[in-house]
Amino acid sequence: MAVMTKWSLRWRTLILALVPALIMFVVTLAYHVHVRLADAQNEQARSGAIMATQLAASADFAVISGNMDSLVPQIDTILAQPGVVSVSILDNEKQTLFNKSNKHHKGIQLHRYTAMITQQALALDHSDWLVDAPINNEPSTLGLVEVGISSDHIVQREHDIVLKSILLGCLLLVVIAGIGFWMAHSLERPLRAIIGLVGALKNRQFTARVSIKQDGELGALAYHLNLLAAMLEESRTLQISYTEELITARGRADKASQAKSEFLAMMSHELRTPLNAISGGLQLLNGTPLSPDSKEYVNLATMATNDLRHLVDDVLDFSKMEEGRLILQPRPFLPKKLLQHLTDGFRLEAEHKKLDISLTLEGQTDLWLKGDEMRIRQILSKLLDNAIKFTEKGRIGIRARISTYNDMQAQFLCEVYDSGIGINANALTHIFEPFMQVDRSHSRRYGGAGLGLAIASRLSRLMHADLRVESEPLVGTCFCFELVLPICEECSHVADISQPNLHKSAFHAHVLVVDDNPANRKVAEAMLKSAGCTVSSANNGREALQLMAAGDIDLVLMDCQMPIMDGYEATQEWRSQERDKRLPIIALTANASADNETACLTAGMDGMLSKPFRKQQLEMLLSAWL
């Protein structure tokens, strides 16, 4: 059966037609031959018995008279019959009275058929005789006639019967095979056409059709396959149409997304540029003698400026996450230092609301790890900002535990908790969705765009962590996440690209500020002068190259986007002609993206300071490079 499964439909049909016919042929042939042979043998026996009986009936007188010659014509007639070999007349003692045979049949096997030679008695009664003796009217036996018939004749007849039967059976088999071939062809041809249609449909040739002029199951199958092909062709046409529409729509969406990204980048630059002037001016103003009221006004303006800067950052970061363009930048950092600076940065804001803020460190706190410190800081900043915002009294804090995960990795677990208003259980399921507000009423007390927790959650997922929350209304809230980060060997804090000290006295250096915005340029000049630096300024890259070529410049703060010649081109041209020691060039840019940082480094800049920046950041930069 396993072999038959590999055969084609034609051979299966032939086998189904021929095997029963062959079995029937063999059985019928055997029966027919058997019957014919039996008939031949019976016919020979009957013929031999008849010839012997006829000869015996006419041989009584010849036996009584001894004149056997009178039987010769009749015996010759018998010998002339097919297969008759000999004729013998025997007496009662089995002695041969007469024998005649065909000489060419001597020595062959004979079938002998006999008949008794009898003398019929006369019908007499006692009145016909004078004697009183018993009268015997029974016939008397005179001898025996024996006819010998050769077995070769019957064997020849048997051979003829078998041969004719086989020829007839073979003829029938040929006829049946022809019928089987015709049936197989009539089935195979439409099936091959159907198989061809199925193969064409498999190869997405939906215009293919099959033409079968048959009724019954094959015709119905072909009809429904043609219907299926027509439906597939129609579906394919619709799919192509929909795909083209989707491609067109996607192209429009990509263009809209690109336009949105370009718009956000432009707006970021346009917003950060005045924010830098406002923030820097407020910082400088805060360093002058002010009345208590004026100082409070400056602090309020500074807080509002920081809120606006954070909002701009949130919108840009969320846009990058939506488009999948936000890339992590792992670098060595000390978690303890990060957490301490972060806590100190929020301490003033917490104390303003009379909240206790604490930092609890556990485990291997001096372990250096490799991760995106800026994004980890961003997550914790969002959580601390929410904790301060939604806590009217009580405490907020950070708990952190650092422990080795294995020889190469460490676990960094952070929790930010507060004793604020808490979060309702219904809101917990949606708390990390964009633009979600705990209080969404028109009279809500707490501001914000609802992006902070969404950004924190997505950033944690980028770092293969899960930001979790536990909260109880009127009791407090706790956010936590756990990072698995590579362990780094202990090292000192490194800037973007380390450079040797220029052997100048701290902050007593000549710094060139290159910026096309007068307000930003004036703020940077004032901050540098307050730090003890000598300051020169330029409106564009071409002016900067002229001042740099004059020499005596220790550090350049270069804006990236300027008219006439931008910061990238100016840096590349300077590096191409620089011969002596490398002049540090730090980018001043309102575009704080990773792509822009890469572009700055590729152009030959040594670092980047994003706008708006604080005076403390500028002083840290001077400490690193001067």
Class of residue 35 by CB neighbours under 10 A (exposed 0-12, middle 13-18, buried 19+): exposed
Buried b or exposed e, range 135-172, using 16+ CB within 10 angstroms: eeeeeeebbbbbbbbbeebbeebeeebeeebeeebeee
178 within domain boundaries: no
Q: Which of 232-236, 263-267, 371-375, 507-511 has the highest mean pLDDT?
A: 371-375
Do 387 and 460 belong to one domain?
yes
Does 17 have pLDDT greater than 70?
A: no
Q: Per-residue confidence at 424, pLDDT binned at 50, 70, 90?
A: confident
In tens, the pLDDT along 175-197 reads 877 777 777 777 777 777 777 77
315 within domain boundaries: no
Class of residue 471 by CB neighbours under 10 A (exposed 0-12, middle 13-18, buried 19+): buried
Does 605 have pLDDT greater than 60?
A: yes
Do 430 and 525 belong to one domain?
no
Do 430 and 460 belong to one domain?
yes
Instruction: Between 145 and 500, name the one with better pLDDT.
Output: 145
Per-residue pLDDT averaged across 84-109, rounded? 75
Do 462 and 332 belong to one domain?
yes
User: Could you tell me which of 563, 560, 626 has the C-alpha nearest to residue 599?
Assistant: 560
Averaged pLDDT of the chain:
80
Per-residue model confidence (pLDDT) at position 24: 76
Structural domain total, the chain: 4
Q: What CATH number does the domain containing 13 carry?
A: 3.30.450.20
In tens, the pLDDT along 119-138 reads 765 555 555 554 555 555 56
Do 290 and 348 belong to one domain?
no
- Cβ atoms of 388 and 346 within 8 Å: the answer is yes
Per-residue model confidence (pLDDT) at position 426: 81
User: Could you tell me which of 287, 284, 282 has the C-alpha nearest to residue 299?
Assistant: 282
Do 272 and 331 belong to one domain?
no
Category of 354 on φ-ψ map: left (φ > 0), alpha (ψ -120 to 50) or beta: left
Do 358 and 474 belong to one domain?
yes
Helix and strand counts by DSSP (H, E) for the chain: 15, 16
385 within domain boundaries: yes
Do 19 and 113 belong to one domain?
yes
Per-residue pLDDT averaged across 563-576, rounded? 92
For residue 57, give its domain range.
Answer: 4-121+137-162
In tens, the pLDDT along 353-398 reads 889 999 999 998 889 999 999 899 999 998 998 899 889 889 999 9
493 within domain boundaries: no
Listing DSSP states for 532-584 in one string gives T-EEEEESSHHHHHHHHHT----EEEEESS-SSS-HHHHHHHHHHH--SSPPP
195 within domain boundaries: no
Per-residue model confidence (pLDDT) at position 136: 55
Distance in angstroms (rounded) separating the CA atoms of residues 251 and 246: 8
Do 352 and 477 belong to one domain?
yes
Q: Per-residue confidence at 147, pLDDT binned at 50, 70, 90?
A: confident
Q: What is the pTM of this model?
A: 0.52
- Around Cβ 459, how many Cβ atoms within 10 Å? 22
Per-residue model confidence (pLDDT) at position 105: 55
Does 432 have pLDDT greater than 80?
A: yes
Share of the chain above pLDDT 90, in %: 20
Q: Per-residue confidence at 501, pLDDT binned at 50, 70, 90?
A: very low
